[in-house]
Structure 1
Amino acid sequence: MNVLAEWTALACEELGIDPARVDRDQILELTKEVAHGVARPAAPLTAYLLGLAQGAGTAPEEAVERLTALARNWGQTTTETLTDR
């Protein structure tokens, strides 16, 4: 078992989460997009916010898709926001 898989399994056990419900690759892809498209410190913050959203009942698949799209379009989004002021 590699370190990431072992960490995921142990962290899930510690938090009482079914590891089958964790799409590790999807989360890693999201945080990669955020780290490269927005800023590196935004990646762990985004993962935390995703967890809060899931706890509040937002469908994780939908939330991941929306956040990934936001990160991929970050340059365009911020330009539009700045020019709206």
Structure 2
Amino acid sequence: MKTQDETLEEWCRLLLRAFELEDVDVDINEVLSVAGVAAHSVVRPAAPLTTFIAGLAVGLASGPGQAPDPSSMQKAMDVARSVAKAYAADEAQTVAGSPAEGSGGASVPTGTPGE
């Protein structure tokens, strides 16, 4: 019987092959970590949405026909994690009282992954 890690690695390889992305290196633990931060900082369904949008950002930053840049992937994961944590902090502040003056919601890091 396969372990969960073995199953995830196999599934990742199958998906990459299906999308003709065999040369892409996916840090499964990093993706799951970011998904966990989103799930616990926002709401559980934010996990797949966050990882999808981070992946889309990496794809757009890498450009069509170009090999993905590992730094673009890390930047996207960092941005997603940061936004999720900022959202949780803003929500906690709202529950405790009113949002800080001028906060206007979660702070969103600027820049495109890979810049």
> Is this contact kept in 2: 1:12–1:18, CA < 8 A?
yes
Match of residue 36 from structure 2:
32
Query: How many residues are matched?
Result: 82
Answer whether contact 1:8 1:19 (CA < 8 A) is retained. no
What RMSD in Å do the two structures reach over aligned CA positions? 2.0
State the TM-score, normalized to the length of structure 1. 0.81
Which ranges of structure 1 fall in alignment gaps of 5 or more residues?
Answer: none
Q: Secondary structure of 1:69's match?
A: helix
Identical aligned residues as a percent: 28
CA contact (8 A) 1:9 1:19 kept: no
Larger helix proportion of the pair = 1
Asked whether 1:67 is paired with 2:80, we answer: yes
- Consecutive aligned runs of 4 or more in structure 1 exceeding 2 Å deviation: 75-82
Any unmatched runs of 5+ in structure 2? Answer: 63-71, 92-98, 106-115
Please give the TM-score of this superposition, normalised by the length of structure 2: 0.62
Q: Report the structure number with the largest CA radius of gyration.
A: 2
